[in-house]
Amino acid sequence: MNGKTLTSETLTAETLSKIDAYWRAANYLSVGQLYLFDNPLLKRPLALSDVKPMLLGHWGTTPGQNFVYAHLNRAIKKYDLDMIYVSGPGHGGPAVVGNTYLEGTYSEVYPEISQDEAGLKRLFKQFSFPGGIPSHASPECPGSIHEGGELGYSLSHAFGAVFDNPELIVACVVGDGEAETGPLATAWHSNKFVDPATDGAVLPILHLNGYKIANPTILARIPREELEQLLSGYGWQPIFVSGHEPALMHEAMATGLDQCIEQVQRIRHEARVNGNRERPRWPMIVLDSPKGWTGPRVVDGQQIEGTFRAHQIPVSKPATHPGHLALLEEWLRSYRPEELFDARGRLLPELAELAPKGERRMGANPHANGGLLLHDLQLPDFRDYAVEVPTPGIAGIGDTRVLGPFLRDVARENESTRNFRVFGPDETLSNGLGALFEATNRQWDATTLPGDEFLAPTGRVVEMLSEHQCEGWLEGYLLTGRHGVFNCYEAFVHIIDSMFNQHAKWLKVSAQLPWRAKIASLNYLLASHVWRQDHNGFTHQDPGFIDHVANKKAEVVRVYLPPDANCLLSVMDHCLRSRHYVNVVVAGKHPAPQWLSMDEAAAHCAAGAGIWPWASNDQGADPDVVMACCGDVPTLETLAAVSILREHLPDLKVRVVNVVDLMKLQPASEHPHGLADDAFDALFTVDKPVIFAFHAYPSLVHKLTYRRTNHRNIHVRGYKEEGTITTPFDMTVLNDIDRFHLVIDTIARVPQTGERGLQLQRTLGEKLREHRRYINEHGQDLPEIRNWKWSLA
């Protein structure tokens, strides 16, 4: 079976002919969507006025996907499958839209796209049309969890969807061009992480149509044996369905698909009934069919079908090129629409019955509208994990290490519902979340050896050294109605910048679709952050992910920088309860001082930003300077700077403002979390200097506050791309965000400190030189830095 083209007889002549008709109907609807403005049933000769003025969309992948969808429908019915469809080359939007229309889901969601001639006309017109729908498998399309605009993530999404969904099969069409992307290339390995006993199955269908936009694909231009070895080497059992002759291809596809489904069923039985724990070889299909199959063979003397030229609009100039209109009409009529739809435009009942019924239809499967299946997490009371903070500044063990037991108990309390997972690229321990392994394991279906730690066939933690997989799995998990966290080194989360983009876009659009239920938020926990990369140095220092995130729609993104462990607990509790956001939480894992009791932390996090009266000496009056901080290390340096100021310049009125929720800085008109102008002014004043120590690149604070009254007085220190392997304090010195620089900066902006201020500046300048000499000689920070504690009453 492995790698053989199949010839056995699976389909009766009647079924084959019906499936072929169904496929023709889907192809007709697809071409109609690409081209037609009117005359949807071709009841009269095609006129130029029937054709859209702008022809936008992709034909090449579409007939292959229509072929797959029709065959999946047959398999769903035959085996009563719980199946959804992921369109890797999501630019085949006409296929998914057309098929969900044929199965009836589309009209149920959008009644105006009715099952008649008028509905057909609207279906065609809306596609890639102003005020209509996008050309991809976008959120607007029922049954989609994967838009596929940016190629590479289909398999990761598919695997994320099947975790903890033991009955689900995700049929995932992978473009052979898509397969060249890094994320997709490594996603084949996901089969080492699914547990056949407790997870569902992914059925990859590699769409080997040979071409991308303008090039052949690599996988189509290596010997078949090599391709087979590649896929086998990834642990799959590939079944090839190759050819172009429809009747033969229907038979081969039906046979191949049956073999796959039966193989999945055998694997499940082995694992679930016989307790066989061996890693199975999951089946997959390689569909080797022409790009632009059934479309025009030759246009203007150039071969189209079976070439890259079929990628977009094969007959592109009906208005200006002689013969194009006739060619288009001939193409449309080749599907014989009069044999597929009745005179009123309804799909013939004997064809309509080929589609599954109710929620078995892939467009209506609730897994693809995950919010419908979403249950709240059982959350322990985060206050129970609080650090005792009798006085500000007591030593902490590392903030994420306090969070760990909370997440452990989230995993524990939701073990039976199996709807919470923590994903990470090999860093869950390193990020200080080791407590999770008191309750669960890392899911791993490959070989284990004595001495391995926390590996098991199933577990709430999933780790692969691919940020792309972690992100894609989590997205797939969330999109199908579950909850989770992605913990990652701060610098390397940039690897998935673009995946975050796509997910944020999905959230924005889907939030506007009333029929799409809201899903759980995507929670990033970025530990091992820029300021504490003692082991790794410069390569591991990049706090720019939050700059990137801040570009996205305010309705979608939230950024939190808790200054201590109690704030981290409060923030994470909030994030795990939230819906349809991307939450970014940046937290430290190294021992660090703790500032707020649990009650204070909860109140501070609820406010998002506030004055810390115990650290300030302006007694509620007008301060001379505002010392603002955001992030754990900037908060520490700010408070150390405040101690110096208050000791040496006791007359100076200093106000300390801490920001947890970064978006509080934006005006309320820009972000739902934004402080009203008067509330912002009440914290930051309208005219006093603000020395703002910020976790990340300083420009972000300027960008968020540029409309604020006092913006001209906000002086921001943050990471400015200075770093190496050095001491923790020296990292802050290199970037001028250390306590000494903060005091020097302050004095420069409060001339009333006079000679005492100038003297203090000189002393601190000398301190910085002493610091440099000391660390170069001793390899650690000055004792007064290492042992510094907040001691003001």
Ligand X SMILES: Cc1ncc(C[n+]2csc(CCOP(=O)(O)OP(=O)(O)O)c2C)c(N)n1
Angstrom CA distances, 253 to 179, 236, 282, 355, stand at: 21, 18, 17, 17
Query: What residues are paired with 284 via a beta bridge?
Result: 238
**Stretch binding ligand X (CB under 6 A), from 43-51, 107-115, 146-154, 485-493:** 146-154
Residue 230 CB, nearest distance to ligand X (Å)?
Answer: 16
Burial of 533 (0-12, 13-18, 19+ CB in 10 A): buried
Question: Applying CB under 6 A, which of residues 27, 73, 181, 369 lies at the interface with ligand X?
Answer: 181
Question: Applying CB under 6 A, which of residues 121, 146, 207, 671 lies at the interface with ligand X?
Answer: 207
DSSP 581-606: -EEEEE---S--EE---HHHHHHHHH
**Stretch binding ligand X (CB under 6 A), from 207-215, 246-254, 392-400, 704-712:** 207-215
Question: 219 or 665, CB closer to ligand X?
Answer: 219
In sequence order, the 6+-apart residues with CB closer than 8 A to the CB of 699 are 547, 716
In sequence order, the 6+-apart residues with CB closer than 8 A to the CB of 778 are none
Amino acid at site 713: N
Query: What residues are paired with 462 via a beta bridge?
Result: 423
Residues within window 303-332 making contact with ligand X, judged by CB under 6 A: 311
Residue 532, Cα to own-chain centre: how many angstroms? 26
Question: Applying CB under 6 A, which of residues 32, 57, 175, 306 lies at the interface with ligand X?
Answer: 175
Residue 620 CB, nearest distance to ligand X (Å)?
Answer: 55
Residue 527 CB, nearest distance to ligand X (Å)?
Answer: 28
How many binding residues for ligand X (CB under 6 A)? 20
Burial of 462 (0-12, 13-18, 19+ CB in 10 A): buried
**Stretch binding ligand X (CB under 6 A), from 210-218, 355-363, 567-575, 722-730:** 210-218
Question: Applying CB under 6 A, which of residues 178, 228, 251, 305 lies at the interface with ligand X?
Answer: 178
Task: Answer yes or no whether residue 138 interacts with ligand X by CB under 6 A.
Answer: no
Q: In 670-738, where does DSSP find H-type helix?
A: 677-684, 698-705, 728-734
The answer to whether the beta carbons of residues 705 and 690 sit under 8 Å apart is no
DSSP β-ladder status, 201-207 and 282-288: parallel
Question: 152 or 689, CB closer to ligand X?
Answer: 152
Residue 499 CB, nearest distance to ligand X (Å)?
Answer: 10
Beta-carbon neighbour count of residue 669 at 10 Å?
10
**Stretch binding ligand X (CB under 6 A), from 45-53, 135-143, 172-180, 688-696:** 172-180
**Stretch binding ligand X (CB under 6 A), from 149-157, 341-349, 399-407, 561-569:** 149-157
Phi, psi of 338, deg, nearest 5: -65, -20
Residues within window 393-422 making contact with ligand X, judged by CB under 6 A: none
The answer to whether the beta carbons of residues 314 and 292 sit under 8 Å apart is yes
Residue 288 CB, nearest distance to ligand X (Å)?
Answer: 12
Question: 177 or 356, CB closer to ligand X?
Answer: 177
Task: Answer yes or no whether residue 177 interacts with ligand X by CB under 6 A.
Answer: yes
Question: 88 or 481, CB closer to ligand X?
Answer: 88
Amino acid at site 559: V
The answer to whether the beta carbons of residues 609 and 658 sit under 8 Å apart is yes
In sequence order, the 6+-apart residues with CB closer than 8 A to the CB of 336 are 24
Please give the structure tokens belonging to residue 659.
């920001």
Question: Applying CB under 6 A, which of residues 146, 279, 291, 589 lies at the interface with ligand X?
Answer: 291
Residue 714 CB, nearest distance to ligand X (Å)?
Answer: 38
x/- letters, 621..640, toward ligand X (CB under 6 A): --------------------
**Stretch binding ligand X (CB under 6 A), from 147-155, 315-323, 428-436, 686-694:** 147-155
Residue 183 CB, nearest distance to ligand X (Å)?
Answer: 9
DSSP class of 190: G
Question: 33 or 726, CB closer to ligand X?
Answer: 33
Question: 307 or 753, CB closer to ligand X?
Answer: 307
CA separation for the pair 270, 196 (Å, rounded): 9
3-state secondary structure of 307: coil
Angle at 15 between CA 11 and CA 20, to 5 degrees: 105
Listed residue (481, 590, 424, 539) closest to 145, CA to CA = 481
Task: Answer yes or no whether residue 674 interacts with ligand X by CB under 6 A.
Answer: no
Question: 54 or 214, CB closer to ligand X?
Answer: 214
The residue nearest ligand X at its CB is: 175
**Stretch binding ligand X (CB under 6 A), from 27-35, 148-156, 505-513, 532-540:** 148-156
Residue 314, Cα to own-chain centre: how many angstroms? 33
Please give the structure tokens belonging to residue 409.
């108990």
Residue 348 CB, nearest distance to ligand X (Å)?
Answer: 29
Residue 151 CB, nearest distance to ligand X (Å)?
Answer: 4
Question: 147 or 409, CB closer to ligand X?
Answer: 147
Task: Answer yes or no whether residue 91 interacts with ligand X by CB under 6 A.
Answer: yes
Task: Answer yes or no whether residue 27 interacts with ligand X by CB under 6 A.
Answer: no
Residue 63 CB, nearest distance to ligand X (Å)?
Answer: 10
Question: 158 or 561, CB closer to ligand X?
Answer: 158
Angstrom CA distances, 746 to 13, 104, 540, 552, 762, stand at: 85, 67, 30, 33, 13
Question: Applying CB under 6 A, which of residues 151, 206, 495, 663 lies at the interface with ligand X?
Answer: 151
Composition of the chain by helix, strand, coil, percent to 5: 45, 15, 40
Residue 175 CB, nearest distance to ligand X (Å)?
Answer: 2
Phi, psi of 211, deg, nearest 5: -140, 155
**Stretch binding ligand X (CB under 6 A), from 113-121, 145-153, 264-272, 476-484:** 145-153
DSSP 416-481: TTT-EEEEESS-TTTTT-GGGGGT--EE--S---TT--SEESS-SEEE-S-HHHHHHHHHHHHHTT
**Stretch binding ligand X (CB under 6 A), from 169-177, 380-388, 538-546, 631-639:** 169-177
Question: 127 or 437, CB closer to ligand X?
Answer: 127
Question: Applying CB under 6 A, which of residues 57, 152, 160, 292 lies at the interface with ligand X?
Answer: 152
Residue 178 CB, nearest distance to ligand X (Å)?
Answer: 4
Residue 466 CB, nearest distance to ligand X (Å)?
Answer: 16
Task: Answer yes or no whether residue 137 interacts with ligand X by CB under 6 A.
Answer: no
Question: Applying CB under 6 A, which of residues 40, 89, 134, 593 lies at the interface with ligand X?
Answer: 89
Beta-carbon neighbour count of residue 308 at 10 Å?
20
Task: Answer yes or no whether residue 541 interacts with ligand X by CB under 6 A.
Answer: no
**Stretch binding ligand X (CB under 6 A), from 11-19, 206-214, 262-270, 466-474:** 206-214
The answer to whether the beta carbons of residues 192 and 286 sit under 8 Å apart is no
Q: In 36-153, where does DSSP find H-type helix?
A: 62-79, 93-102, 105-109, 117-126
Task: Answer yes or no whether residue 94 interacts with ligand X by CB under 6 A.
Answer: no
x/- letters, 32..71, toward ligand X (CB under 6 A): ----------------------------xx----------
Angstrom CA distances, 66 to 28, 58, 747, stand at: 10, 13, 70
Task: Answer yes or no whether residue 213 interacts with ligand X by CB under 6 A.
Answer: yes
**Stretch binding ligand X (CB under 6 A), from 173-181, 547-555, 565-573, 684-692:** 173-181
Residue 279 CB, nearest distance to ligand X (Å)?
Answer: 28
CA separation for the pair 437, 20 (Å, rounded): 52
Angstrom CA distances, 43 to 51, 198, 638, stand at: 14, 52, 76
Q: Which residues bind ligand X (CB under 6 A)?
A: 60-61, 89, 91, 150-152, 175-178, 181, 207, 209, 211-213, 217, 291, 311
